[in-house]
A and B are shown apart, each in its own frame.
Chain A
Amino acid sequence: MADKPKKKTIRTIPQARTPVREQDPLERVRNFDEVSAGYRREDAQLEAERCLICPDQPCVAGCPVNINIPGFIQKIGQKDFRGAYDVITATNLLPAVCGRVCPQESQCEGVCTVGDALEPVAIGRLERWVGDLAIQEGWANVPHIDPVPFKIGIIGSGPAGMACAADMAKAGCEVTVFEAFHQPGGVLRYGIPDFRLPNDVVDAEIGNLVKLGVTFECNTLVGRLFTIEQMLDEMGFDAVFVGTGAGYPAMLGIPGDSLNGVLSANELLTRCNLMRARDFPNYDTPLPPARHVAVVGAGNTAMDAMRVCLRLGAERVSCIYRRSKAECPARAEEVHHAEQEGVEFHWLTNPVEVLDDGAGGVRAMRCVRMELGEPDASGRRRPIAIAGSEHEIETDLVVFAIGTNANPIMGQTSTLRLNTRGYIQTDEDLATSVAGVFAGGDIVTGAATVIEAMGAGRRAARSMRRYLGIRDANAPYTIARPDGAGTLFGIDEREHNFVRVRE
């Protein structure tokens, strides 16, 4: 086979995006198995051909952690699947997670050159395929690690904490991740349901961290069991990363919102996913009974909550959102899946009161219809209530998924400076007001995405290495091959002055 393939053009590549097999909507609303089966090997290779390997690589810039996307796709094309995994894991620790939950349409795929003329390359599906293959094959990239005498504490085992932990472990530090729940993973575990991100995938990715030498301490509420200051002063940690997430769900703030039968999406999802209330009574945590569910909000969390309720057996699930479909913040694929599964969307509808059933539960929700006016501060058109449009939507369970406020625990228990909204204040390098303490993810920015949190975790790790004086802070790490090829005892030759790199 020729080493130099013919130059691909938009005319020569497969024109249509390779479809992915999905569970039938009617079937899948009755189970918690994953909706998308993912690519098969032949699908991945076919789709890989669609990448033009264009010189300007907009996808790399579009990725919050700048994965070398053309690089890994090229490896798939060359059937060097392990190579593809190595390329991805040079920048992204969790391909099987990110391939599933990243909003690719507004990141890499949104700027893909192929997308100018045809459907963009299915980068997310390819990434997931590589990630899944790695789990199946038991691949893990454990580079040669030069130990350095630093001890790092990570607070929160969600995506931000995991990314920071991985980078610091690779830099040779002794890393401990503290988690308040009894299982690690943060939002990947309690929030995102199995049909979108199976628990096995989370387990596998955490297993890779453990292989890097990271220790997980569950059942540990930092701030209350010990403080950040104690970690630095008494427990011997040289630096600390705070990635506790946003927490604290925002309330509806309308009459009736404390009725039984009104709960946050966080509570519903935690009960169902982490505590496995869907298997009640084999698991002890109960779920509220629900025939007609109304979910307020239209973000990814709202979509997850609605699709969970359908699977739990609700007869009707409605989405109540005050703006129109165009403004809806969820991933396009999630909205599409929710529509397929039978969620009723009430766009331009705003709840004004939750109505009591007389026994402390919910009977219905009173709503008004909205229209879009002038753009507001967020650039989206401001919804305005239409006079006289009040109507009732029959429901016995109201789930609110309208965002979160800052979790107060870190502010209550440390001297970290907070901003006016209660989030942790950091500089551009994610350093907080306390020397040696860095923060990133939702507790700094407010609610965002998994990949953005991971990006923040990696950025904080870079600053942390600089703070600790660990060399090569900005260089991408090269991966030691398990066979040690091209390396000197696992050390990349170029890293040391032992040999001449170029003859």
Chain B
Amino acid sequence: MSQQRSSFDIVTREDFSDATYLLEVRHPLMARAARPGQFVIVMSHEHGERIPLTIADFSVERQTITLVIQAVGKTTKEMQQTCKAGTSLYAMVGPMGVPSAPGTAKKVLCVGGGLGVAPVFPQARAFKERGAYVIGVLGFRTRSLAFWQDKFASACHEVILCTDDGSAGVKGNVTEGIRQAIASHPDIDECIAIGPPMMMKGCADATRGHRIKTMVSLNPLMIDGTGMCGGCRVKVGGQVKFACVDGPDFDAHQVDFDDLMLRLRRFASQEQAAMHRWSETCRFKADALSS
């Protein structure tokens, strides 16, 4: 019937830990169009759901878009099993959302928490290319989960690594890193923070007192990603905004994070059920294979 766009071939797959993996997908047009702060919507197969993923890197030379994914639910765990180099995705559309404003900041703080470390990378690189002084603050639960320190070393003037358990860098979460950075650089004029909602809320609180302009990238549930369904609505400064077309970047000091966290749990019970059902079938398959 209709012609699908050729295909969305996965050219590289890299595993950062047993839960976090990277996919580099070939898409020459999108590699040229993508800007820091934008996201894609991916479907791994025809029966799949549409999941939004922030673009972690893009390369015009390699003609690719890089995504970093954490296996947390049925879809992302299934993708962890099926998405290998040489396979392809059923659908990938983007780049979506308003690109991050390049801004005029001279000294910026680029904060990434966990998986959020990946999408903050193109922002850090863009700031450095523009001539700003870039301080990266990267937070992980523990040393073994850390990734991309080398990439950040080249995109930042300083990198502060934080781990919750102190196994590498500063002990504590990213707010500790932010505190240290602000202490040694009182002239920071902008902060970008990407990560789980709780972490972004912490960053907003950490910079609010210092009146540092802080932008966060929000990741609510989405379907179309083009402003049509309103599933991704968030409250910013008391107003309803659609993260897909009005964002995904918003002023952290205006965002209602509690509302965001509540809305992220919209389908918690269905997600759990799908996850449970899926792991059961996987176990059956594994049992069948081993017997």
Q: Which residues of A contact B (CB under 8 A)?
A: 180-184, 190, 203, 206-207, 210, 215-221, 224-226, 245, 247-249, 251, 257-258, 260, 263-264, 266-267, 270-271, 275-276, 280-289, 360, 407-409, 412
Contact = CB atoms under 8 A, between A and B. Distances in A.
Given A225-B30, A258-B263, A264-B230, A275 B50 contact: yes
Interface stretch (B105-113, B137-145, B168-176, B220-228): B220-228
A407 B245 contact: yes
B51 to A, nearest CB: 9
Given A224-B33, A224-B96, A285-B49, A407 B226 contact: yes
Given A180-B224, A251-B230, A288-B266, 11 more contacts: A180-B93, A181-B93, A203-B1, A218-B5, A224-B94, A225-B95, A245-B228, A271-B223, A281-B277, A283-B47, A408-B246
Contacts of B43: 182
B274 interface: yes
Nearest to A223: B226
Contact of B265 (A257, A260, A271, A283): A260
Nearest to B44: A284
Contacts of A220: 5, 93
Given A225-B33, A280-B274, A181 B224 contact: yes
Contact of A206 (B2, B91, B240, B274): B2
Interface in B17-50: 29-30, 33, 38, 43, 47-50
B34 to A, nearest CB: 9
Given A226-B33, A267-B229, A218 B267 contact: no
A183 B224 CA distance: 12
22 contacts: A181-B93, A218-B2, A218-B3, A218-B91, A220-B93, A221-B96, A221-B225, A224-B96, A225-B94, A251-B233, A260-B262, A270-B223, A270-B224, A275-B50, A283-B49, A284-B74, A284-B75, A360-B262, A407-B228, A408-B245, A408-B246, A409-B245
Given A216-B2, A275-B50, A286 B267 contact: yes
Main secondary structure of the interface of A (DSSP, over half): loop
A217 B230 CA distance: 24
Contact of B228 (A210, A248, A283, A286): A248
A207 B230 contact: no
B273 interface: yes
Interface string B264-287: 011101110110010000000000
B161 interface: no
Nearest to A219: B93
B16 interface: no
A140 to B, nearest CB: 13
A74 B183 CA distance: 86
B259 interface: yes
A219 B94 CA distance: 8
B32 to A, nearest CB: 9
B98 interface: yes
Contacts of A210: 1-3
Interface in B196-242: 223-231, 233, 235, 240, 242
Given A248-B227, A275-B49, A407-B228, A225 B29 contact: yes
B184 interface: no
B92 interface: yes
B90 interface: yes
Given A206-B1, A219-B4, A283-B47, A288 B228 contact: no
A266 B224 CA distance: 10
A356 to B, nearest CB: 10
A251 B269 CA distance: 26
B38 A264 contact: no
